[in-house]
Chains A and B, each alone.
Chain A
Amino acid sequence: MTEASLYLLQQIINGLTIGSTYALIAIGYTMVYGIIGMINFAHGEIYMIGSYVSFIVITGLLAMGSFALPLVLFIALLVAMLIASTYGWTVERVAYRPLRGSNRLIALISAIGMSIFLQNYVALSQGSRDVALAPLISGSVLELGSLETFEVTLSWMQLLIWVVTLVTMTALTLFISRSRMGRACRACAEDLGMTNLLGIDTNRIISLTFVIGAALAAIAGLLLGLYYGVINPFIGFMAGLKAFTAAVLGGIGSIPGAMLGGLILGVTEALTAAYFPSEYKDVVAFGLLVTILLFRPTGILGKPEVEKV
């Protein structure tokens, strides 16, 4: 392979890695929007909290020693998912449910308020400076090309991100398409009132979507935290915006759309940063958002709003 194509391949690998985590976060936006039609602006903060919890658990367990690394990561993942879910659930109960049925703008303001609150709450309790974690997973699975020209590497960390994302998305897809509650989620997304008329407590289904979204954001929080090695209380804002862009790109409300949108956005960003000054990557990402909103507001896989009979 030529040097140029090796370079391109590397950017695609990097893009798919970041894109996977966008996709994980985007699920939370898309599922909540699909059912109650609101943008949960505090969702990025849930991701950030997931990162913090994983860092705290990992640091703590490593300090105690005597645990194998995979076990440490697994425990950190479970704890982060659990705590982030609790936050996700609580945010809905406290800040959104009381406002349901009122003006959309009011719910949006409440969501922005919640987002600022969570940011400052973490900044106050954990400090607002960067927290770093020494790389835990090093080495690469695959190396292509040679050092003299250009070497393509797929690191173990990247592979871990791919595998965890793939497993999570497969589990989510099976849950939504096969399980009784997953079916109820889809029914709620189509007609919340009718689902209620079948005796189903739709408030519980709404809570469930917040919990699932938060748990997936926490997975992304752990993975990206390990990948970059540094977190701070403000990472949720940008990550949230990117994931939201991914959700809109794929078609907000659509779960496969969020997955696809995340990957497309990740790769687009990586390619932009590779061939243009890297400051352009956010410009391109949000340019993409504006373009989609202007020309195809339903996104790639979103259905046009069907008129209800």
Chain B
Amino acid sequence: MLELKNVNTHYGQIQALHDVSIKVNKGEIVTLIGANGAGKTTLMMTVCGDPHASSGEILFEGESIQRMSTSQIMRKGLAVVPEGRRIFSGLTVAENLHMGAYFSDKAAYEAQLDHVLGLFPRLKERYHQRGGTMSGGEQQMLSIGRALMSHPRLLLLDEPSLGLAPIIIQQIFEIIERLRSEGVTIFLVEQNANQALKIADRGYVLENGRVVMSDTGEALLTHDAVRKAYLGG
């Protein structure tokens, strides 16, 4: 579904990704773990064309996308829940969701809206409230809901659990598993490695912009070096 081949990404003179190759198959949950500053966000955003890869190839459903503009890429059937949620705080929940479905016709919009409000009943309660007035957990739900509004086949999530209470984190991980069972492929960046690896089919470990390990979620969970570095021993 998604494949990165020897991708390099630079911020000006600084190289943030070195020869990264990653594959996400249809129907999988694939997670990417790594320390602060490892380049996880950079990798995810490179898929979205913001920034563009300086070399290498990125294939989405077999099509080479690394030269396309961000808006072109994001209309291909993938959606992103970016780091820091980035909801439109001055827009209402309804308007935020509408923005996610900018290109849908009315029928598709309404069907997907029902679906999203079913996944997150909280958003229904807050429907006419401004995004910025909601709690962190609610904002994260809104960010995920907004991404889902375009009915993506691939969902990219960047640290959706960051800064949330354990009970909310639990809910978010349940939603991710449920989405997968509905046929959405998931690429999940997490620092919460323990929980991410538990639900993931496969995982990659990123260090200083390089993929240093890749295996099944289970194998990484029990791997000594991974346990030491990311799971607190």
B95 interface hit (Cβ, 8 Å): yes
Chain A residue numbers with a CB within 8 Å of B89 are: 190, 306
Check if B102 sits within 8 Å of A199, measured CB to CB: yes
B34 interface hit (Cβ, 8 Å): no
A90 interface hit (Cβ, 8 Å): no
Chain B residue numbers with a CB within 8 Å of A142 are: none
Q: How many Å lie between the Cα of A244 and that of B2 in the bound state?
A: 48
Closest Cβ of chain B to A250, distance in Å, is: 17
Choose, from A13-21, A69-77, A179-187, A210-218, the stretch at the interface.
A179-187
A272 interface hit (Cβ, 8 Å): no
Closest Cβ of chain B to A254, distance in Å, is: 11
Given contacts A199-B71, A199-B150, A202-B71, contact A194 B102 (CB under 8 A): no
Chain B residue numbers with a CB within 8 Å of A201 are: 69, 71
- Partner of A197 from the list B50, B84, B91, B132 (CB cut-off 8 Å) is B50
Most buried by B among A183, A184, A186, A202: A183
Check if A191 sits within 8 Å of B86, measured CB to CB: yes
B75 interface hit (Cβ, 8 Å): yes
Chain B residue numbers with a CB within 8 Å of A180 are: 98, 102
Most buried by B among A186, A196, A197, A308: A197
Closest Cβ of chain B to A30, distance in Å, is: 15
Chain A residue numbers with a CB within 8 Å of B100 are: 198
Main secondary structure of the interface of B (DSSP, over half): loop
Task: Look across to chain A and name the residue whose beta carbon is closest to the beta carbon of B146.
Answer: A198
A residues 138-186 in Cβ contact with B at 8 Å: 180, 183-184, 186
- Partner of B91 from the list A187, A196, A306, A308 (CB cut-off 8 Å) is A187
Closest Cβ of chain A to B186, distance in Å, is: 17
Task: Look across to chain B and name the residue whose beta carbon is closest to the beta carbon of A181.
Answer: B102
Given contacts A183-B91, A183-B95, contact A197 B102 (CB under 8 A): no
B118 interface hit (Cβ, 8 Å): no
State the total of A-B contacts with C-beta under 8 angstroms.
Answer: 63
Chain A residue numbers with a CB within 8 Å of B150 are: 198-199
Task: Look across to chain A and name the residue whose beta carbon is closest to the beta carbon of B77.
Answer: A199
Given contacts A183-B98, A184-B102, A202-B71, contact A197 B48 (CB under 8 A): yes
Chain B residue numbers with a CB within 8 Å of A187 are: 88, 91, 99
Given contacts A190-B88, A191-B86, contact A197 B98 (CB under 8 A): no
Q: How many Å lie between the Cα of A183 and that of B82 in the bound state?
A: 20
Binary contact track A209-232/B, C-beta < 8 Å → 1, others 0: 000000000000000000000000
Q: How many Å lie between the Cα of A198 and that of B75 in the bound state?
A: 8
Chain A residue numbers with a CB within 8 Å of B82 are: 194, 197
A120 interface hit (Cβ, 8 Å): no
Chain B residue numbers with a CB within 8 Å of A198 are: 74, 79, 99-100, 102, 146, 150
B residues 71-122 in Cβ contact with A at 8 Å: 71, 74-75, 79-80, 82, 84-86, 88-91, 95, 98-100, 102-103
Check if A196 sits within 8 Å of B88, measured CB to CB: no
Binary contact track A288-309/B, C-beta < 8 Å → 1, others 0: 0000000000000000001011
Closest Cβ of chain A to B113, distance in Å, is: 15
Closest Cβ of chain B to A197, distance in Å, is: 6
B21 interface hit (Cβ, 8 Å): no
Closest Cβ of chain A to B12, distance in Å, is: 12
Check if A200 sits within 8 Å of B90, measured CB to CB: no
Give me the interface of B with A, judged by CB distance under 8 Å: 48, 50, 69-71, 74-75, 79-80, 82, 84-86, 88-91, 95, 98-100, 102-103, 132, 146, 150
Give me the interface of A with B, judged by CB distance under 8 Å: 180, 183-184, 186-187, 190-191, 193-202, 306, 308-309
- 4 A-B pairs besides A199-B150, A309-B86 with CB distance below 8 A are A183-B95, A195-B99, A198-B74, A198-B150
Q: Which 4 A-B pairs have the closest CB atoms?
A: A199-B74, A199-B75, A194-B86, A201-B71
